Amino acid sequence: MPSSSILAPLAYNGSVEALYRTYTWQLWCLSVVGFFYALVQYLLAVPSDLRHLPKVSPYATIWSYAIRESVDRRVKRLIIPFAERGEGVVLVYMLGKWGVHVLDASLVKTVCHNVDRFPKKNYQEHLHFTFLSGPNVVFSNGEMWKRHSASVKAAFDREIPVHHFVALSDELFRRIGKGGVYRFSELVQRYTLDVVGTALLGYNFRAMQTQEDSFVDHFNRVMSKIAVPIRLILPFLDDWFPRHEVIADVQALNSRYGALLESKKQDLGLDLLTYLLEDSTMSTEELISNFSILFSAGHDTTSGALSTAVYHLAQHPEHQSKAREEVLAVLAGRDEPTYEDLGRLPFLNACIKEALRINSPISLLPARITTEYVMLGKYSIPAGVSLVPNVCAVHHTQRNWTDPSRFDPYRFIDKSTRAIANIPFGTGPRQCVARQFSLYEQRTLLCMLLRQYEWRLPARSPHADYVKNEFGAFGLSIPHDLDIEFTKRV
Ligand code: HEM
């Protein structure tokens, strides 16, 4: 047998040196393979105090990131089988560490309602979270959260500005004109950003008017630059090989927020930014961090919800017609709804709720951390472990919903729906402060859209089988590149 063959037997009578000379490249191969095997074993080893938990294969999770699978597909393929088997929690390899996803609705409630026992985890160490995480209302805890939350709640403690939603919907329809095929996911993102700017922050981003390097373009660029699979799987690479260009882009975006806050100081009003600025205890870093999170939470979520609703109404013309009949009856010949009208659209409201269930914009809630040893269902979990309440799993297990992947607005007309298993806005003290604001925003746009247009998916849409969400870093499910064909109603 030739000595160069990998199959050559290790039968020899000489020294180590002779062995090395004879089998040089085989030994190199073995060392390299051995090194990588040991590295992978080391990186993927489950800590001994978590080994009793059920676990999603880390290789399957890594593969899912490598092929840029969206979070909802990953959860449905890899995690929901555990929920269907009745597991309330499961270990998942995420962001270079093992964490626990909480799948059972009542365990999610336990985790989200006990804010002191399960505080939010702050991911300051990861580049992609330094962008959104930080000293702000979504990620802070304790006294800081109470302070920030008070200012934010004050801004929502006012009449819902339906007139702004109406005016901006009209502007969106001017873009659609007489109809045709439009990239709705992009148009609606600009609409929701202008809503947040005009109705909440007291600053008009004019996102619907095309601009060079607008806020929305800058934000989208940062979001997509951050979502690099290898960096999400092994975030410590950012310490070893910092991505200077991305860091500079995040800093440039934060500087834009900072400049806007400075100009706002000269133009105070009755808006969210003013309330934040009036809190004299808030540092510049906190102000910018809050601006950044409100900018993101305020527009991407609602635009994702609206894209999903429009998609499913396109796929279900019978629901679209029924919703339109309801709208036309309530509007009684008018083009624009009032606040009261929007409370009299039960079927449209059910479509919105079903869209939020079937494709929740926030599919994974921000992680909490255990502060002490706890029992979650039948499993013990030590202190210092990340817990991720998995909204997508709660919304898609057959234990909670019959035929969960079917778009069926009637679930929300039948009052037997289990409220505990319907949590698109989270649950407990940290649930979304803006849920009513967002629901009215969605009702207004959809009501006016139904009045003025009919729509469907264009032929050969990549979304024909199911709505395809963007691959991203933050557990969001936002339809990606969704084109819709509109026809103006006469
Ligand atoms: C369809 C639209 C929306 C969805 C699905 C949504 C979802 C959520 C969820 C799930 C949470 C809870 C996070 C947690 O438990 O950690 C949350 C919190 C929050 N949301 Fe929304 N949201 C939406 C729209 C908005 C809008 C328009 C704003 C306005 C700026 C907003 C501002 C916030 C804030 C400030 C919090 C933090 C609350 C706290 O921790 O005290 N959201 N949202």
Per-residue confidence (pLDDT) for residue 222, from 0 to 100: 86
What sign has the CA pseudo-torsion 218, 219, 222, 228? negative
Per-residue confidence (pLDDT) for residue 467, from 0 to 100: 95
CA pair distance 14, 232, nearest whole angstrom: 48
Per-residue confidence (pLDDT) for residue 270, from 0 to 100: 74
Of 17, 137, 57, 72, nearest to 478 by C-alpha is 72
Letter string b/e over residues 84-93, b meaning 16 or more CB atoms within 10 A of that residue's CB: eeebbbbbbb
Percent of the chain having pLDDT more than 90? 59
107 vs 196, more confident: 107
Per-residue confidence (pLDDT) for residue 2, from 0 to 100: 44
* Axis-axis angle for helices 284-315, 435-452 (nearest 10): 40
Tell me how many degrees the CA angle 89-238-381 measures, rounded to the nearest 5: 20
CB proximity list for 482: less than 8 A, separation 6 or greater: 183, 184, 185, 307, 310, 311, 463, 467, 468
119 vs 237, more confident: 119
CA pair distance 116, 107, nearest whole angstrom: 16
Per-residue confidence (pLDDT) for residue 213, from 0 to 100: 67
Reading the block at residue 207, the tokens are 């996102």
pLDDT tens digit sequence for 367-387: 999 999 999 999 999 999 999
Other beta carbons within 10 Å of 141: 17
CB proximity list for 137: less than 8 A, separation 6 or greater: 145, 148, 149, 152, 290, 293, 294
Q: How confident is the model at residue 23 (pLDDT cuts 50, 70, 90)?
A: confident
The mean pLDDT value for 75-90 works out to: 97
Per-residue confidence (pLDDT) for residue 372, from 0 to 100: 95
CA pair distance 350, 352, nearest whole angstrom: 5
Residue 3 has pLDDT above 50, yes or no: no
Q: Atom 30, ligand 1: which residue's CA is nearest?
A: 298
DSSP 423-471: -TT--STTS-TTHHHHHHHHHHHHHHHHHHEEEEPPTT-TTSSSPPBPP
Q: Is residue 428 lining ligand 1, measured as CB closer than 6 Å?
A: no
pLDDT tens digit sequence for 182-224: 999 999 999 999 999 888 888 888 888 866 668 888 888 888 8
pLDDT tens digit sequence for 414-440: 766 678 899 999 999 999 999 999 999
Per-residue confidence (pLDDT) for residue 4, from 0 to 100: 46
Per-residue confidence (pLDDT) for residue 62, from 0 to 100: 92
Residue 6 has pLDDT above 50, yes or no: no
Q: How confident is the model at residue 125 (pLDDT cuts 50, 70, 90)?
A: low
Ligand 1 mean position, distance from CA 365 (Å)? 10
Pairing, β 379-381 against β 179-183: unpaired
CA pair distance 465, 447, nearest whole angstrom: 26
Helix H or strand E encompassing 381: strand 379-381
- Low-confidence winner among 149-163, 164-178, 310-324 (lowest mean pLDDT): 149-163
- Low-confidence winner among 1-15, 138-152, 273-287 (lowest mean pLDDT): 1-15
CB proximity list for 196: less than 8 A, separation 6 or greater: 205, 294, 295, 298, 299
Helix H or strand E encompassing 180: strand 179-183
CB proximity list for 85: less than 8 A, separation 6 or greater: none
- Low-confidence winner among 58-67, 146-155, 423-432 (lowest mean pLDDT): 146-155
- Low-confidence winner among 11-20, 168-177, 196-205, 454-463 (lowest mean pLDDT): 11-20
Per-residue confidence (pLDDT) for residue 5, from 0 to 100: 46
Q: Is 432 annotated as a binding residue?
A: yes
Tell me how many degrees the CA angle 137-195-186 measures, rounded to the nearest 5: 100
Q: Which of 425, 436, 437, 446 to mutate to test the pocket of ligand 1 (most atoms within 8 A of CB)?
A: 425
Q: Atom 3, ligand 1: which residue's CA is nearest?
A: 301
Residue 100 has pLDDT above 90, yes or no: yes
**What does the chain come to in residues?**
490
Q: Atom 19, ligand 1: which residue's CA is nearest?
A: 432
CA pair distance 278, 342, nearest whole angstrom: 33
How would you classify residue 333: left for phi > 0, otherwise alpha for psi between -120 and 50, otherwise beta? Answer: left
Mean pLDDT over each residue of the chain, to the nearest integer: 89
Q: Is the separation of the CB atoms in 108 and 397 below 8 Å?
A: no
The mean pLDDT value for 392-400 works out to: 96
The residues facing 486 across adjacent strands are 180, 455
The mean pLDDT value for 294-314 works out to: 94
Other beta carbons within 10 Å of 230: 11
Per-residue confidence (pLDDT) for residue 1, from 0 to 100: 41
Q: Which of 143, 301, 306, 474 to mutate to test the pocket of ligand 1 (most atoms within 8 A of CB)?
A: 301
CA pair distance 31, 37, nearest whole angstrom: 10
Give the residue carrying structure tokens 């882009």.
249
Decide: residue 229, CB within 10 A, 0-12 exposed, 13-18 middle, 19+ buried: middle
Percent of the chain having pLDDT more than 70? 94
Order of strands, sheet of 89-94, starting from the edge strand that comes earlier in the sequence? 89-94, 97-102, 386-389, 368-369
Helix H or strand E encompassing 486: strand 483-488
Q: Is the separation of the CB atoms in 336 and 166 below 8 Å?
A: yes
- Low-confidence winner among 107-116, 338-347, 466-475, 477-486 (lowest mean pLDDT): 466-475
Helix H or strand E encompassing 277: helix 272-278
Q: Which of 432, 437, 469, 474 to mutate to test the pocket of ligand 1 (most atoms within 8 A of CB)?
A: 432
Q: Is residue 298 lining ligand 1, measured as CB closer than 6 Å?
A: yes
CA 289 vs. chain centroid, Å, equals: 18
Per-residue confidence (pLDDT) for residue 284, from 0 to 100: 86
pLDDT tens digit sequence for 439-487: 999 999 999 999 999 999 999 999 999 999 998 878 889 999 999 999 9
DSSP-derived secondary structure letter, 135: S
